[in-house]
Amino acid sequence: MTPLRRILVSGLIFLFLSSCTGIASGGRPEPAATTETPAALLGSTAEVPRPTPTAAALGTVENPLILALLPGSSTNAGSIEGGKALAEQLSEVTGYTFVVVAPESYARLVDAMGKGNAHVAVLSAYAYALAYKKEYANAAFASIKLGEKAYGAQFIARKDAGFEPYFDTQTEENTADAVAALSQFQDKKPCWSDETSLSGYVVPSGILAYNDVALRPPAFVQGQPTVARAVYVGGICDFGATYIDARKFPAVLDEYPDTLERVRVIWRIPPIIPYETFVIAHGLPPEVVQAIDDAMFRISGMQAGRQILEQAYGIDEWERITDAFYEQFRQYLDASDIDLESLLDQ
């Protein structure tokens, strides 16, 4: 890395995304206004054409690529240092110049990616879905937690509620497809966790809607262990949905020791709900996208690189993926009719 580029990265421009417009357009100041024409300055009346300014190439010192930290990172010294180190690593591996911004919110970050004011970022599941839908960004790496790129959910009901279970507890596999298993919930009342929960409401309601299963008005009981309790007690709803496996939550088993026997898993949603996703802005030159992708693969494959990523984003394990990996998740999210923009503005 050249001294100039090292100074730029170590000096790290920590701007909120609302003030990134100058960077995205090349960061060049407008020429000072003057009342004298070039011809007058030369002592001539001849017409002298003004030079046409040209935009600096993306990834240069004058027009750097912008790496966004997680929202709220501006007050986190560790994330800031991790961002500095990651920007420097990306610059060294790709040959492009990177600077870092700390957005105020995911709504601001998604908007910035659409305006060209952020090029590389880590997005939450909802933020990724919105950025993809608007064609602002594409997935490049999935964060790994507990050895998985995504997580699932489950539909539960009382043993005596009359529902046929289509989940084998021995093999922990479904024994029927979604249509066969979930059609029995037609015109039944669900217990959902809350209106923002992916595993306790949005994805389960989305998969039911996607398969044309109409429901009665739900009960939002605030908390997935509470869903398990409500199903156990009965009289509140016919079935519910939770993460895997909210029935084993210690407070639930302390209160109702026979929960696992009395409340059965009817069907499990496969692991399709993403954790955080590393994305690259849509529409960047293919060679730039490839360089960033290859650099991230290299950095995440080294112990020192994983330490930098953990410091910057709180995640030290990543796996290369494409948007196709999240296709089912996006389908069910769309079917749920949740308003992503309003959700991110909260």
Domain boundary among 274, 299, 323: 274
| Structure-model confidence comparison of residues 284 and 32, the more confident one | 284
Q: What does the pLDDT read at residue 75?
A: 84
**pLDDT tens for residues 137-157?**
999 999 999 899 999 999 999
pLDDT band at 27 (very low <50, low <70, confident <90, very high): very low
Same domain? 242 vs 189: yes
**pLDDT tens for residues 239-294?**
999 999 999 999 999 999 999 999 999 999 999 999 999 999 999 999 999 999 99
Q: Is 280 helix (H, G, I), strand (E, B) or coil?
A: strand
From the CB of residue 63, how many other CB atoms can be counted at a distance below 10 Å? 18
**pLDDT tens for residues 68-100?**
999 989 888 999 999 999 999 999 999 999 999
Tally of domains in the chain:
2
Cα separation values, 253 from 170, 173, 227, 236, 333, Å: 21, 24, 13, 19, 31
Strand runs labelled E in 109-189: 120-123, 137-143, 150-158, 167-168, 173-174
Distance from C-alpha of 97 to C-alpha of 2, rounded to nearest angstrom: 10
pLDDT band at 6 (very low <50, low <70, confident <90, very high): very low
pLDDT band at 213 (very low <50, low <70, confident <90, very high): very high
Tell me the mean pLDDT in the region 303-318: 95
Same domain? 286 vs 224: no
Same domain? 13 vs 78: yes
Print the domain residue range for 218: 150-274
Q: What does the pLDDT read at residue 313?
A: 96
Distance from C-alpha of 44 to C-alpha of 48, rounded to nearest angstrom: 9
Tell me the mean pLDDT in the region 191-211: 97
pLDDT band at 38 (very low <50, low <70, confident <90, very high): very low
pLDDT band at 41 (very low <50, low <70, confident <90, very high): very low
Residue 178 inside a domain? The answer is yes
Cα separation values, 310 from 67, 79, 104, 314, Å: 15, 9, 20, 4
Same domain? 224 vs 251: yes
Q: Half-sphere exposure (CA, 13 Å, Cβ side) for 148?
A: 10
Average pLDDT, whole number, for the chain? 86
Domain boundary among 239, 274, 309: 274
Residue 43 inside a domain? The answer is no
Q: What does the pLDDT read at residue 44?
A: 32
Same domain? 10 vs 74: yes
Q: Could you tell me the two tokens for 298?
A: 């290299």
